[in-house]
């Protein structure tokens, strides 16, 4: 039942465009060595999605970044990226959590 | 009862949800390696800076204290028992700051600015950083305005100026806190905002302090910052800086504020605890190397700003508890050298019934003299010397029966002055009344009053002045100095009073005993 209501794709255009604005490079010292970005999503990423994420991240760090996908239903929707010391959370669970803290 | 319209609540919540906009933001993160006694060790968190605020799960915050290779030490500001190994830690790129403002007055808060008095949220508008560099030399001016403590012994001989740092030091149970409370109570209806910082004290004691402030209507100009003995060491460490930040807000508004740190001994203990857990090298008495800096950077923030910068002031009254009167222990000597003078309270004096138990010989105020009002200066010129001589002679003559008249007169005068300076708790006196009393003493007008009757004399004489010579008192408080005609009138008033109420002759019997 609930599974039906969870969107089948993890990423939409809006989330991607926001990610593009994020400046990773500034913080890149420690991230330099990392070649692999861990992307957790509520539903498995499609190859297309992986590719677009890879492009965005690689451009930001000016280096080729591999994408490894983990699936965690607790995120409810969206995705989160961990690249070395850097974390970017665009999941629904995070949205709800922030909403709860701010109300 | 509040009548809640469920529909209104519902629409309000909907509105808030609609207005809420999440900013997806990248964070630098680290992972919790271990927590021990409120100190967390974190790996990762590259680029984190010292004194930065970091966020643990469940809205628990931490303060970065140690930067080492590949790991970060942070003190946890909250319940560290809730943390788990491997928890994500976010860097916030913010310094720890607390809410400040007029809204805090009359409230009891913890060092993070959260209310402890159960009177609901405090709606402040401004935040001030807990650590701040003290104003520089060019912004300051010398103290020139007194803090009237309402305590005769202090206002007359160890005057405190606005912007001064005066240490109150003594053994446990010698009336250190009482002295500060009297000072707060004496500010009733005046323009000095008081901040009482309780560090590592029993909750029951803090409740009693708040109660007495309430009872004497002194809470309406007071903020109480409390880190109880049961609170984590990190809170006890932060409390004085939080109190100071609140004071700085009023300072920046051009107002006068007074912060009481009760007491810095326990603050040093809390810092020692944190430092030992962080494995910092320990020095004398196991205190870390920067224990001096801990207190100097706090007390340096007390200042008197010059007119150009608003003219506000922040006075600091740190309290230090000594063990068995040992002034030369580590923390007492440190703080004595930082402050602009000290008030030394002695248990011997306290138990001998001389209260406040101020040891006049060892107490000084290095800058307060400039702030004392003229009238007080005029009458107290000889007071210190008289008392010092009295102490010396009294010790000597305990074994001698025969005394030359001059020595005897000195002792008689001294005994009366000691009696005159006694004062009960919660009985602060206005400065003009202090002047009138001390004037009578130093002019020798009380030499023929029985020593045992001094207390009675004092109350009745003040009543008498209030009743028959209120204009005289008003004149002193207005002109702030004693003109010749005023002192003549005061002299006449004392003589008239003595005549009227029969204090003129010394009781023959008492005279023999004391002689």
Cα–Cα distance measured from residue B394 to residue B404, given in angstroms and rounded to the nearest whole number: 14
Cα–Cα distance measured from residue B308 to residue A69, given in angstroms and rounded to the nearest whole number: 62
Residues of B with Cβ-Cβ distance to A10 under 8 angstroms: none
List chain A pLDDT tens, one digit each, 103 residues.
445 554 556 566 777 777 776 665 555 555 566 778 888 988 888 888 888 888 888 887 777 888 889 898 888 888 888 888 888 888 888 888 888 877 7
User: Nearest 5°: CA angle at B449, between B447 and B451?
Assistant: 95
Amino acid A102: pLDDT: 73
Amino acid B146: pLDDT: 94
Amino acid A9: pLDDT: 61
Q: Please say if the pLDDT value at position B10 is more than 90.
A: no
The residue segments making up the domain with residue B66 are 29-94
Contact B480, B373 (CB under 8 A): yes
Token pair of B303 as six digits: 């200042």
Q: Please say if the pLDDT value at position B513 is more than 90.
A: no
B131 and B241 fall within a common domain: yes
B362 and B387 fall within a common domain: no
Domain ranges of chain A: 2-102
Token pair of B128 as six digits: 């001030």
Taking only the tens place, the pLDDT of each residue in B161-183 is 999 999 999 999 999 999 999 99
B152 and B273 fall within a common domain: yes
B270 and B292 fall within a common domain: yes
**CA-nearest residue of chain B to A92?**
B22
Q: What average pLDDT does the segment B94-107 reach? A: 94
Taking only the tens place, the pLDDT of each residue in B14-57 is 888 888 777 777 788 899 999 988 899 999 888 889 999 999 98
- Residue B425: count other Cβ atoms within 10 Å of its Cβ: 15
Cα–Cα distance measured from residue B383 to residue B7, given in angstroms and rounded to the nearest whole number: 73
For chain A, how are helix, strand and coil distributed in percent, rounded to 5? 50, 25, 30
Q: Please say if the pLDDT value at position B220 is more than 50.
A: yes
CA distance B27 to chain A (A): 5
Q: Is any Cβ of chain B less than 8 angstroms from the Cβ of A6?
A: no
Amino acid B508: pLDDT: 45
The answer as to whether B346 is a domain residue is: yes
Q: Would you list which residues of chain B are within 8 Å, Cβ to Cβ, of chain A?
A: 13, 16-17, 20, 22, 24-30, 44-47, 59, 88, 90
Contact B451, B419 (CB under 8 A): yes
B109 and B52 fall within a common domain: no
A-interface mutation test, from B22, B69, B87, B93, most A Cβ less than 10 A away: B22
Q: Which of B366, B374, B413, B416 is catalytic?
A: B366
B185 and B161 fall within a common domain: yes
B283 and B362 fall within a common domain: yes
HEC secondary structure over B211-249: HHHHHCCCHHHEEEEEEECCCCHHHHHHHHHHHHHHHHH
Taking only the tens place, the pLDDT of each residue in B290-299 is 999 999 999 9
Amino acid B515: pLDDT: 42
Contact B100, B47 (CB under 8 A): no
- Residue B447: count other Cβ atoms within 10 Å of its Cβ: 13
The reply to whether residue A82 touches residue B26, judged by beta carbons under 8 angstroms, is no
Cα–Cα distance measured from residue B112 to residue B118, given in angstroms and rounded to the nearest whole number: 15
What three-state secondary structure class fits B43? strand
Token pair of B256 as six digits: 């006068």
The reply to whether residue A22 touches residue B17, judged by beta carbons under 8 angstroms, is no
Cα–Cα distance measured from residue B148 to residue B192, given in angstroms and rounded to the nearest whole number: 10
Cα–Cα distance measured from residue B17 to residue A10, given in angstroms and rounded to the nearest whole number: 23
Closest residue to A85, CB basis, from B17, B25, B28: B28
The answer as to whether B241 is a domain residue is: yes
Residues of A with Cβ-Cβ distance to B57 under 8 angstroms: none
Cα–Cα distance measured from residue B86 to residue B78, given in angstroms and rounded to the nearest whole number: 18
Amino acid A54: pLDDT: 87
CB within 8 A of B306, min separation 6: which ones? B139, B140, B141
At B55, which CATH number? 2.40.30.20
Helices B405-421, B454-468: axis angle to 10 degrees equals 70
The answer as to whether B436 is a domain residue is: yes
Amino acid B505: pLDDT: 56
Contact B297, B235 (CB under 8 A): no
Amino acid A42: pLDDT: 86
The answer as to whether B130 is a domain residue is: yes
Taking only the tens place, the pLDDT of each residue in B403-446 is 888 888 888 899 999 999 999 999 999 999 999 999 999 998 99
Assess whether the previous peptide bond of B407 is cis (omega < 30° from 0): no
Amino acid A29: pLDDT: 56
Token pair of B257 as six digits: 């504020």
Which comes out higher in pLDDT, residue B22 or B506?
B22
Domain A2-102: which topology? Answer: Dihydrodipicolinate Reductase; domain 2 (3.30.360)
CA distance A2 to chain B (A): 23
* Confidence grade of residue B512 (pLDDT, cut at 50, 70, 90): very low
Nearest to B249 by CA among B351, B395, B129: B129
Cα–Cα distance measured from residue B435 to residue B274, given in angstroms and rounded to the nearest whole number: 48
B413 and B317 fall within a common domain: no
The reply to whether residue B90 touches residue A87, judged by beta carbons under 8 angstroms, is yes
The answer as to whether B479 is a domain residue is: yes
- Residue B465: count other Cβ atoms within 10 Å of its Cβ: 20
What's the burial of A17, exposed, middle or buried (CB within 10 Å: 0-12/13-18/19+)? exposed
Amino acid A91: pLDDT: 85
B366 is catalytic: yes
**Total of domains in chain B:** 3
Cα–Cα distance measured from residue A85 to residue B72, given in angstroms and rounded to the nearest whole number: 13
Amino acid B509: pLDDT: 46
B85 and B145 fall within a common domain: no
B-interface mutation test, from A89, A94, A98, A100, most B Cβ less than 10 A away: A89
The reply to whether residue B17 touches residue A103, judged by beta carbons under 8 angstroms, is yes
Amino acid B111: pLDDT: 95
Q: Please say if the pLDDT value at position B229 is more than 60.
A: yes
Q: What is the ipTM of this complex?
A: 0.79
Mean pLDDT value across chain A: 77
B262 and B135 fall within a common domain: yes
Number of A/B CB contacts below 8 angstroms equals 55
Taking only the tens place, the pLDDT of each residue in B324-368 is 999 999 999 999 999 999 999 999 999 999 999 999 889 999 998
> Where does a domain end: B347, B372, B397?
B372
Closest residue to B26, CB basis, from A22, A30, A99: A22
B139 and B257 fall within a common domain: yes
The reply to whether residue A27 touches residue B30, judged by beta carbons under 8 angstroms, is no
The reply to whether residue A85 touches residue B88, judged by beta carbons under 8 angstroms, is no
B80 and B120 fall within a common domain: no
Identity of the highest mean pLDDT range in B83-97, B263-277, B480-494, B498-512: B263-277
Only one residue has tokens 């996908």, namely: A69
> Where does a domain end: B39, B61, B94?
B94
Q: What percent of chain B has pLDDT over 90?
A: 74
> Where does a domain end: B340, B357, B372?
B372
Beta bridge partners of B32: B42
């Amino acid at each position: 039942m609930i599974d039906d209501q969870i969107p089948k794709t993890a990423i939409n255009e809006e989330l991607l465009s926001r990610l593009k604005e994020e400046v990773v490079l500034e913080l890149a010292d420690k991230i330099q060595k990392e070649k692999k970005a861990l992307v957790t999503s509520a539903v498995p990423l499609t190859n297309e999605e992986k590719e677009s994420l890879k492009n965005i991240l690689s451009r930001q760090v000016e280096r080729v970044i591999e994408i490894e996908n983990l699936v965690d239903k607790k995120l409810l929707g969206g995705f989160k990226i961990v690249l070395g010391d850097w974390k970017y959370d665009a999941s629904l669970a995070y949205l709800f959590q922030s909403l709860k803290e701010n109300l | 009862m509040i009548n809640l319209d469920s529909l209104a609540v519902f629409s309000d919540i909907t509105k808030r949800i609609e207005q809420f906009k999440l900013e997806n933001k990248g964070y630098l993160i680290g992972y919790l390696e271990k927590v021990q006694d409120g100190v967390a060790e974190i790996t990762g968190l590259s680029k984190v800076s010292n004194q930065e605020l970091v966020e643990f799960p469940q809205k628990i915050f931490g303060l970065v204290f140690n930067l080492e290779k590949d790991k970060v030490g942070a003190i946890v500001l909250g319940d560290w028992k809730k943390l788990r190994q491997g928890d994500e830690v976010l860097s916030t790129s913010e310094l720890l700051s607390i809410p400040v403002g007029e809204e805090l007055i009359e409230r009891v808060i913890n060092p993070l600015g959260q209310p402890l008095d159960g009177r609901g949220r405090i709606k402040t508008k401004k935040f001030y950083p807990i650590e701040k560099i003290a104003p520089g030399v060019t912004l300051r001016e010398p103290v020139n305005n007194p803090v009237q403590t309402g305590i005769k012994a202090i206002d007359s001989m160890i005057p405190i100026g606005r912007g001064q740092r005066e240490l109150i030091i003594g053994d446990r149970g010698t009336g250190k806190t009482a002295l500060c409370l009297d000072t707060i109570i004496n500010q009733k209806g005046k323009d000095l905002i008081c901040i009482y910082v309780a560090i590592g004290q029993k909750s029951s004691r803090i409740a009693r302090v708040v109660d007495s402030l309430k009872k004497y209507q002194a809470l309406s100009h007071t903020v109480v910052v409390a880190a109880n003995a049961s609170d984590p060491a990190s809170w006890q460490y932060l409390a004085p800086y939080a109190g100071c930040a609140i004071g700085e807000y009023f300072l920046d508004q051009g107002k006068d504020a007074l912060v009481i740190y009760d007491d810095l001994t326990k603050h040093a203990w809390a810092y020692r605890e944190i430092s030992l857990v962080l494995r910092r090298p320990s020095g004398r008495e196991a205190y870390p190397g920067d224990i001096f800096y801990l207190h100097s950077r706090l007390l340096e923030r007390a200042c008197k700003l010059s007119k150009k910068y608003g003219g506000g002031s922040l006075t600091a009254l740190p309290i230090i508890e000594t063990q068995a009167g040992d002034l030369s222990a580590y923390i007492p000597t440190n703080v004595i050298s930082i402050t602009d003078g000290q008030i030394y309270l002695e248990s011997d004096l306290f138990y001998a019934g001389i209260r406040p138990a101020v040891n006049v010989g060892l107490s000084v105020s290095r800058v307060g003299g400039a702030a004392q009002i003229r009238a007080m200066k005029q009458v107290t010129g000889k007071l210190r010397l008289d008392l010092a001589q009295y102490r010396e002679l009294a010790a000597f003559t305990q074994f001698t029966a025969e005394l030359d008249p001059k020595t005897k007169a000195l002792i008689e005068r001294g005994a009366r002055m000691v009696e005159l300076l006694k004062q009960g708790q919660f009985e602060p006196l206005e400065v003009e009344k202090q002047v009138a009393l001390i004037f009578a003493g130093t002019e020798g007008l009380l030499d023929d009053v029985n020593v045992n009757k001094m207390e009675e004399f004092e109350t009745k004489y003040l009543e008498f002045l209030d009743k028959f010579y209120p204009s005289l008192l008003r004149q002193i408080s207005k002109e702030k100095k004693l003109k010749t005609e005023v002192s003549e009138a005061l002299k006449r008033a004392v003589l008239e009073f003595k005549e009227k109420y029969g204090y003129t002759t010394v009781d023959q019997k008492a005279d023999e005993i004391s002689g």
